[in-house]
Every structure is written in C-alpha cells, then in structure tokens.
Chain A
Amino acid sequence: MRVIINGKPHEAAGNLSLAQAVGVLTTAQSGVAAAVNGAVVRRAAWDTTALADGDEVEVLTAVQGG
C-alpha cells in the first residue's frame, strides 16, 4: 500500500497502522501528535488505527518558535 507521511510518499509491503507510519519518522514516546486526513488521532488509538491506500498522515512535534 502507498500512503503519504508528512508530504512524502511511503510504500509498505502489507497493511500499515498509524503507529507504524509514525514509527517511520520517530521513536519518541511523547511530544508527538498524529492526524490522518486532517483528523487528529489520540496516541492510545495509533496501534488500532489501520491506514488505507492514499491516506495522508501528518506527524507533528514541538520546535523552536514564537
């Protein structure tokens, strides 16, 4: 399947959970939020959130700013 993670295409051999998609970018256990197609998904539900082909995943964290 093919999903978009932070604007970049990502190919996976099988099904991909949101937790696995986030894991492509970071292993941080806190300080990270994720959204699928614009909808925020709580961390507790990342494992059970299955991605569909073409889903757009956004993974954000805090950076210097303001």
Chain B
Amino acid sequence: MDDPLLIAGEKFGSRLIMGTGGTPSLDVLDRALAASGTELTTVAMRRVDPAATGSVLGLLADRGIKVLPNTAGCYTAAEAVRLATMAREALDTNWVKLEVIADERTLLPDPIELLAAAEQLIADGFTVLPYTNDDPVLARRLEQAGCAAVMPLGAPIGSGLGIRNPHNIELIVESAGVPVILDAGIGTASDAAIAMELGCAAVLLATSVTRARNPELMAEAMRLGVAAGRYAFLAGRVPRRRFALASSPPVG
C-alpha cells in the first residue's frame, strides 16, 4: 500500500523512525536498521573521540537513511539551541529532534524550556520535531509555534512501559494538524501497533529494539507492528459491544 509519511513536505516510505542508542556494536545496529525498514533515524551530538572506530553516520549514509540529530542531554532552551546549531553545521540538515529534559531520573521534557527552544529554532529556520509530554495543550502550543510534528511520549524514555495514557494520545491526534509521532516508552511490537491504531502518524523507538535479546528480530517485529497498527487504523475497527453479535446467519 502506498501510504507515505509526510513531514515538512518530505516523504518517507516507513512510519518507523529509529534511534541508534543502545546496541553493543555498529554491526548489530546496522542489521537492526535494515530489518526495521526505517528511512529516518536519530543520532546524538557529542564531543569527538579520537579513539572512536567506525561511525554511525557512515552506516546511515550507506543505507540511504536520513539523519535526524537530537538535542539529548540538554536541560535548557539555550543549550538545546546551541546543540541544534552545532548539529546543523556538522550534518548539513536543518531538521532536529528537539529534546529538553527536566531531570535525569525521569528524562521527562521540561515544557517551558521546550517551547522556548522550539520558538527560537523555528525563527532560525529549523524544522523542529519536539519530544514532548503527552499533554494535548502543550502539543497544540508546539504546533502553533510552527513545529513540523509533535512527538508525545508513551512513557519515559527507555522504560518500555508502553502507552500509559492512550486517551491523551488520542486527544493530541484528534486536534493536531501536523504528524503526531509516538516517541518513547515502546516496549514491544504491540505497543507500536497500539500507537498507530490510536492514529499516530509514526512511531519513534530505540531501546526496545537495540536492547532486545535479538535486536534484528525485534526490529522486524516493530516494522510489522507499525504496519499492522496503521492498516487497522485506516481500515477502522468495529465498535465495542457489551453483548454478542452473531457472525453466522441466525436462520436458514
């Protein structure tokens, strides 16, 4: 089925956006990314390590996967804006997954700093994809600020707790005019399917694949889960009933 994901006018054949953190080696990551079918993948920006061997950038380039730098590790708008500017310079992209977290224990977004950073980056010409709380009001404010997508969390980063507040995700989807991307909290393929059934345009995940016992196989499971959930959303589920509805003819 031809059903591309559209973000800021750019088309992606896959609705699974991958993170790259957590695999034991670049080789394992490479195979997982291939199995996931992803066309958009996040990287972090860190100090150059002269001893590092291999590069995640080379791997993504070889697979034709678009790079989405994040601002992981930033606690203030000023830090995030500076890191995004460095990423734009290093990677020649004005796309950024904007992450401004409040504390290390929860890694939850700081909504005040997040919105401020989004406004500054958009004014500077960035295409901003913010990692946000599952708060419909904040999602609306981020969209009004000009974000190209909103990326509410299902649960805290790396927690694998799934979608803790599906009602809020539905509320965000209902009112959003930009793609809603479920970001963080996915534990297994059914979580990804549920996100898509709720109407999300895509799912962004890393830990559930990269730290799975078999990352490559879990990546394949996520690809199928996202596709299954998307198809189910488009097909339209039957209403829930309190009593039975016979599926065989009652007479004859």
Contact = CB atoms under 8 A, between A and B. Distances in A.
Contact of A65 (B47, B70, B86, B88): B70
Interface string A17-28: 000000001101
A12 interface: no
A64 B45 CA distance: 9
A60 B56 contact: no
Interface residues of A, number: 24
12 contacts: A26-B50, A33-B87, A40-B82, A60-B87, A61-B55, A62-B57, A62-B69, A64-B43, A65-B19, A65-B43, A66-B72, A66-B97
Contact of A31 (B46, B70, B90, B206): B90
Given A35-B82, A65-B44, A66-B70, A25 B21 contact: no
B42 interface: yes
Interface string B50-85: 101001110000000001111010000000001101
Interface in B21-57: 21-23, 26, 29, 42-50, 52, 55-57
Contact of B72 (A26, A31, A32, A65): A65
Candidate in A6, A25, A28, A60 with the most chain B CB atoms within 10 angstroms: A60
Nearest to A32: B90
Interface of A: 6-7, 25-26, 28, 30-35, 38, 40, 42-43, 58-66
B91 interface: yes
Nearest to B44: A65
A60 B82 contact: no
A32 B69 CA distance: 12
